[in-house]
Copies of this chain bind each other. A is one copy, B any other.
């Protein structure tokens, strides 16, 4: 079991899994396989049966790690926001100007992830696509409040708070930092999704990364 202990990983709320997938080889295969399959099939068509076949295990074994595909998705999204927080820290420390820091943070949160390099067991490109297309489903459910009280959205909140703090540095009297940040995060996800699948809902643009630029400017004009 020792060989799995020193993996680079974020501390993920242990109520989201039955058994820590980071503690075994099968667990790692569940995470890797689910990222592949959810990205490929969509959450609707993804099942634990298909996953278990994909990773050459059994349905019952997968159920020993996660009580449902919904919890598995929640785990992936928690991981994602842990990773994003880490990226924001990496890319904003040692920058004095809070406006510049805000621009950087918005870039991190709104840019398209195109390289998968940092973590062997996680394909960040696919995970980013999953978060864009599926993450809102983790809270658009009847028992949001219960899952909220279990801390399933805490990682997301931390990211929102961190960026809100930068906003308050720029304008200490600004009343709605959380609203602004979550509008930007969710908005950027929507725009990326629309741009790919329902382009008539967005504005055609040749610009290199119009979505990031749009939200950076929106935020700075607002403050």
Contact = CB atoms under 8 A, between A and B. Distances in A.
Contacts of A218: 180, 183, 218, 222
Q: How many copies of the shown chain assemble into the complex?
A: 2
A67 B113 CA distance: 37
A142 B214 contact: no
In which size bucket is the chain A interface? Answer: 35 or more
Interface in A85-143: 133-134, 136-137, 139-142
Where chain A touches its partner, the secondary structure class is helix
Contacts of A186: 186-187, 190
Nearest to A160: B201
Contacts of A44: 141-142
Contacts of A200: 157
Interface stretch (A4-12, A18-26, A71-79, A171-179): A171-179
Nearest to A135: B140
Interface in A160-196: 160, 175-180, 182-183, 186-187, 190-191, 193-194
Nearest to A197: B144
Interface string A184-222: 001100110110011011110100001100100110011
Given A179-B203, A187-B187, A218-B218, A198 B134 contact: no
A118 to B, nearest CB: 27
Contact of A182 (B136, B177, B190, B197): B190
Contacts of A214: 176, 179
Nearest to A218: B222
A209 to B, nearest CB: 13
Given A134-B140, A222-B218, A201 B176 contact: no
A210 B176 contact: yes
A180 B75 CA distance: 31
B203 A178 contact: yes
Given A214-B176, A214-B179, A140 B144 contact: no
For the complex of A and B, the 8 pairs showing the least CB-CB separation, nearest first, are A42-B142, A183-B187, A144-B197, A176-B203, A178-B203, A221-B221, A148-B198, A186-B190
